[in-house]
Structure 1
Amino acid sequence: MQALLNYLQAHFLSESQLLHRSGLSRERLAQLQREGRTPLPSYALRCSGVVASYFGEQALDDELAWYPLATAEWLIEAQRADVAALRARFERRYRAEWARLAAQGLADAADGCLDAEWAHFLAGTYGVCTRHGRVEEIAAKSAAVGLIDRLTACQTRAALPADELALLRRAVDVLDEAAALFAPHERAASSRERCVNQARRQYLGDAA
């Protein structure tokens, strides 16, 4: 539990921190979430137990919500724009980052299913698996994971030619910058473990 709390405190905003930074009430945040204008928390930590002190024991039963750092930035726009405008803003930023990577050979021509990406964004999914929950990181992660899995055939190819190894290294570096470190209990099954750590060990000869 302590390792998880340390991770969340180092890389996320608690709900109270997010509310303080944005100047919102808890009720207003919940309204924006219901309307599909801002993401749900990426982590919800349910706490049940007993706290003991000089004053005796007290039962605890609470839920703590944690948000990626970029949520505070997103809320600035979410408070004054409707869902359609926010969805369009997400798409513009996503497509711009994808096009930037595609120009470098680091993304396929198509830029993925944006309806699914938007849904995952609102669900808080990308707060779990990107560094800060920024739209550009979401696009970079999706592009890099797709390229790495294609080049390695999901780590089943025995070896890669030199040009593909060079491309793989660049894609791994992009993902390393965009992907979250992941909570301790998630790391072994994460995309970072498969597409960064394992790819470096198996193909690039790097220590993960």
Structure 2
Amino acid sequence: MRALLDYLNTCCLSESQLLFRCGLTPERLEALQREGRAPLPSYRLRCAGAVTSFFGEHALEGELAWYPQAMAEWLIAAEHADAAALRAHFERRYRAELARLTEQGLAVEPAGGLDEEWAHFLAGTYGVCTRHGRVEQIAAKGAMVALIDRLTERQARVSLPAPELALLRRAVDLLDEVEAWFAPHERAASSRARCVDGVRRRYLGGGA
């Protein structure tokens, strides 16, 4: 529990921190989420226990929530746009990042379409698997996982020629930059473990 809380408090914003930064009430945040204008929490922690102090022991029960760091920036925009405009804004930023990666010889279209990516964004998924939850990180993360899997055939290839190894190294390094570290209980099953740590060990001569 301590390791999880340390991770969440270091890498994410608690709901109370988020509301304070944006000057919103909990009710307003819930309304934006219902309207499809803001993502749900990336992490929810249901708590049931007791607190002990000078005044004795008291039972506690409730739920705590955490969001990615970029959620504050998104909420400010969400206050001034409807769901359709926000979806279009998401797509523009997403496609612009793919275009930038294409110019660098790195882009591979992610497996899911934009509708699927938007749905994952609103569900809070990308606060779990990207460093800050920014749209550009979401696009880069999906593209780099797809490129790494294509080059290595999901690590089924025994070896790669030098030009492909150079491209693989660039893809892994970028994925390392944009991807989350993941909470302790998630790391072993994460795309970081498979596509960064595992690929470096198998193909790039590096430790995890």
TM-score scaled by structure 2? 0.98
Shift of residue 156 of structure 1?
1.1
Residue aligning to 2:163: 163
Residue aligning to 2:26: 26
Q: What is the rounded CA distance, in whole Å, between the counterparts of 2:177 and 2:85 in structure 1?
A: 28
The 8 Å contact of residues 98 and 111 in structure 1, kept in 2 or not, is answered as: no
Percent of paired sites with the same residue: 72
Q: What is the rounded CA distance, in whole Å, between the counterparts of 2:3 and 2:112 in structure 1?
A: 34
Runs of at least 5 residues in structure 2 that lack an aligned partner in the other structure: none
Residue type of the alignment partner of 1:2: R
Residue aligning to 2:36: 36
Moved more, 20-29 or 108-117: 108-117
TM-score scaled by structure 1? 0.98
The 8 Å contact of residues 102 and 109 in structure 1, kept in 2 or not, is answered as: no
Residue type of the alignment partner of 2:58: Q
Q: What is the rounded CA distance, in whole Å, between the counterparts of 1:90 and 1:146 in structure 2?
A: 20
Residue aligning to 1:54: 54
Per-residue CA distance 1:116-156 (angstroms, 9 max, x = gap): 00000000000000000000000000000000011111111
Shift of residue 207 of structure 1?
1.5
- In structure 2, the CA distance between the partners of 1:100 and 1:111, relative to structure 1 (3 Å rule), is farther
Q: What is the rounded CA distance, in whole Å, between the counterparts of 1:163 and 1:41 in structure 2?
A: 41
Residue type of the alignment partner of 2:16: S
Q: Spell out structure 1 runs of 4+ moving beyond 2 A.
A: 108-112
Residue aligning to 1:144: 144
Q: What is the rounded CA distance, in whole Å, between the counterparts of 2:7 and 2:99 in structure 1?
A: 32
Residue type of the alignment partner of 2:53: S
Once superposed, what is the RMSD of the aligned Cα atoms?
Answer: 1.1
Q: What is the rounded CA distance, in whole Å, between the counterparts of 1:86 and 1:117 in structure 2?
A: 13
Residue type of the alignment partner of 2:99: A
1:93 aligns with 2:79: no
- In structure 2, the CA distance between the partners of 1:102 and 1:112, relative to structure 1 (3 Å rule), is farther
Task: Count matched residues.
Answer: 208
The 8 Å contact of residues 95 and 111 in structure 1, kept in 2 or not, is answered as: no
Residue aligning to 1:176: 176
Shift of residue 54 of structure 1?
1.4
1:68 aligns with 2:68: yes
The 8 Å contact of residues 70 and 134 in structure 1, kept in 2 or not, is answered as: yes
